[in-house]
Structures are given as C-alpha cells and as structure tokens.
Amino acid sequence: MNMKKIVALGMTAAMALNLAACGSSSSGSAASGAAASKSASGDKVIKIGVFEPTTGENGGGGFQEALGIRYANQTHKTVKIGDDEYTIELVEVDNKSDKTEAVNAANKLMGEKVSGVIGSYGSGVSIAAGQIFADAKVPAVGASCTNPQVTEGNDYYFRVCFLDPFQGTVMANYAMQNGYKTAAVLTQLGDDYSSGLGSFFKTAFTNLGGTIADEEQFQTNQTDFKAVLTNIKAANPDIIFAPSSITTAPLIIKQARELGITSLIAAGDTWENSTIIENAGDSAEGVVLSTFFDEAEPANDEAKSFIEGFKPYLKDNKQDEIIPAVSALGYDAYLALYNAIEAAQSTDGEKIKDALKDVKFDGVTGSISFDENGDAKKNMAFIKTIEKGQFKFLTTTTIDG
C-alpha cells in the first residue's frame, strides 16, 4: 500500500499557460507566464480540460462525472484574478475507457493549451495519462479515480475521492460485521481499479479473520462468466466481492443468480449506476456497494444547494433524478481547481499548485483538503444496497488512520 504521492496539483501550472498568451497587456502578476486567450466576445478565457470516458466500458460513469463538472462550470463560470475576470471554458475529450486512447486524449488536451484537467472516471486511464500532465506541468484533479497509483510520485495529480485501500477496508468491515466470514474475490485482469480494489479487500478481510475461499479473474470485454462463477459456486462463499465496470457488473450479477449462487454480491463505487439495475433486473436485488455520497444525507449547505440545483439539471439532460455520487465528485473536483486559482490570484502553475496544498472548502461530498500526497483527507464512506430496483442508503462507515 505504497501511498507516497506528492501534492502538486499545480492546476495552476496549466492555468498559467492559458492565461498569459493573450498577446496584449495582461493584468499584473495574474498573467505572468501564462497563455491567456479571448473568446469571440472578447472575454478573457481560462481553458480547463475534462478528461473522461464517454464511450467504452466506463462510458456511463464518465458521462455522469462529466455532468457534475459541467454543472459546476455553470454555477462557477468566472473567476477574478487581479482586476480581470476570466471565463472558464471546458474542453472535453473522450478517453474511451482505454489506456492507449487515454494517452491520445491527454495529448490532445495539452495541444489545446488547457490550464488544468479534471478526471478521470477509471483509475487505469488516469494512471496512463498522469505523466503527460506532469511533463506539461498541467495539474489534474481526479474526481473518482481511487487507485493509489494515480497520485503516487506525481506532483501534478490531486483527487477529491477516498482511496481503494480505504474502500476495500470499508467493505471488508461491512462483511465481517454482518456475519460474512468467507469470501470469493472476482476481478478483471489488467484493470488497475478492479485488481487493486480486490487486493485491498482481500488483505483487509483476512486481517479481520475472514477466509478467502476463492480468487478468480476475467478478461477485458469478457461476457461469459459461467466458468469462473462455477468455480466460485463450488467454493460456496458467504460473499462475492467483484469490483468491475458498469458494463460487466450486470452480466456477473445475472449469470451468478442463473447458476443458483445465493451468496451476497458486493462491489465498490463503480456499481452505483442505474444502468446496472436496469440490465440486471431482479437479479440485482440485495447487491451491496460502497460509495462517496448520498443525497438523503447532505454533508453541508453546499451539498444542499447542489442537490436542489442538480436534480432539475439531470432532468434537463434526460437523466434519472437520483444523483450519482460521481456527479457530486465531478462538481467537487471542479471546485478544488476553482478555489486554487482564486486563492493563488495568479495563472502561474506553480503558484496554483502551492495554493492547492492549502485549499480547504466545503464540497458536496464533505470538507475537502489535500494531504502531502495530493489525496483528499477523507475517512467516511456510504454503504448502499439495491432494494426494489433502487439504491437504498444503509449506513456510513468511518475508519481512522
């Protein structure tokens, strides 16, 4: 569990790039070293990259995260630096849930001269793009990318979510506290999120006295899970922990129930997506997962305001009005970047990076500040279950240390 990550979301670094290239005189220290641009209306513009999958196996979650970012851009559209007001313009790219495509998308953002980046849903694509952002000195703020490697050794990556070691421990604690003593772990080969979270769950579960009855892996784009599930059925675990993508989840759930497996099926934050319920149908009843946010339990006034405004925004975008946790995190990631720029009163990357170290604000998912690794200081998760075709809040779990 090597978490030596350096805090350097110098989102500023990037921001700085956009602001100062404005050509004509820029405002004082604000534009120093930055590349500023102007919109067609003549307004000064700061570009922020949105690095998310909107296609591929994580496209559904990436779209939900992007909605939170877009909404934040509506509510916090401009930022004042010195005497000048800058309009924040989002530049969106699709990393297609693929590590190779993630590199292409990241390079495209760098070509657009963005001042900072938000994303991505999916730890693997975030890790793949991380060095590109660092080399360009463009800060990135992750929303829901939970694998420790995202920020590890990267001065320019921050994130507003909790991490997989914590999430794995939360789910292991939930299992043991509710009498599930034996577990099977099912993960996707080569997927950083799935394999990482599965490993952290396994370690925490065994440390708590549980027994791992079986471990199985599956390939990317696999659709038939009968063979691995048959092995799991033979092991007869109390709980199956199967962190995976939104696309894969309903297939695993349905095929497990079709084989007559009655074990509790559990996973992490990616499973909080209504399409899983739609595609798995009645088989999804009783599934348990950990997540970052619940609209029935607003953490503060910022959360209450967000809930009130975001629900009609979802409706306008033809989405279910139940707020996904990743949308709330997308909103918070945007606010982190926004607050850092405002605090630095500069478009210079290093100044914004320094400001990020001390940023503290009330986000939708709780109070947000960053540790020395660039990770959010968070110690609480929400546990939910699927009941009667809806996600239902069960409890919150806090782990110290």
H-helix or E-strand spanning residue 266:
strand 264-267
pLDDT of the residue at 46: 87
Q: Which residue from 162, 129, 177 is spatially nearest to 268, judged by alpha carbons?
A: 162
What is the rounded CA–CA span in Å between residue 227 and residue 313?
43
- Check if the beta carbon of residue 296 is closer than 8 Å to that of residue 174: no
| Residue 40 scores a pLDDT above 60 | no
- Check if the beta carbon of residue 9 is closer than 8 Å to that of residue 157: yes
Residues 6+ apart with CB under 8 A from 35: 16, 17, 18, 19, 20, 21, 22, 113
Q: What's the whole-number mean pLDDT along residues 265-289?
A: 96
What is the rounded CA–CA span in Å between residue 361 and residue 160?
11
Please write the tens of the pLDDT for every residue from 172-221: 999 999 999 999 999 999 999 999 999 999 999 999 999 999 999 999 99
HSE-up of residue 271 (Cα within 13 Å, Cβ side): 32
Structural domains in the chain?
11-162+298-370 (3.40.50.2300), 165-291+382-398 (3.40.50.2300)
| Residue 23 scores a pLDDT above 80 | no
Q: Write out the two tokens for 267.
A: 């996973």
What is the rounded CA–CA span in Å between residue 322 and residue 246?
17
Bridge partners of 387, per DSSP, are 390
Angle ∠(224,128,372) on CA atoms, nearest 5? 120
Q: pLDDT class for 39, splitting at 50, 70, 90?
A: low
Sign of the Cα torsion 339, 342, 347, 348 reads: negative
What is the rounded CA–CA span in Å between residue 371 and residue 150?
14
Please write the tens of the pLDDT for every residue from 221-266: 999 999 999 999 999 999 999 999 999 999 999 999 999 999 999 9
Amino acid at position 293, single letter: F
HSE-up of residue 245 (Cα within 13 Å, Cβ side): 27
Please write the tens of the pLDDT for every residue from 137-185: 989 999 999 999 999 999 999 999 999 999 999 999 999 999 999 999 9
Residues 6+ apart with CB under 8 A from 275: 60, 246, 250
What is the rounded CA–CA span in Å between residue 120 and residue 4?
20
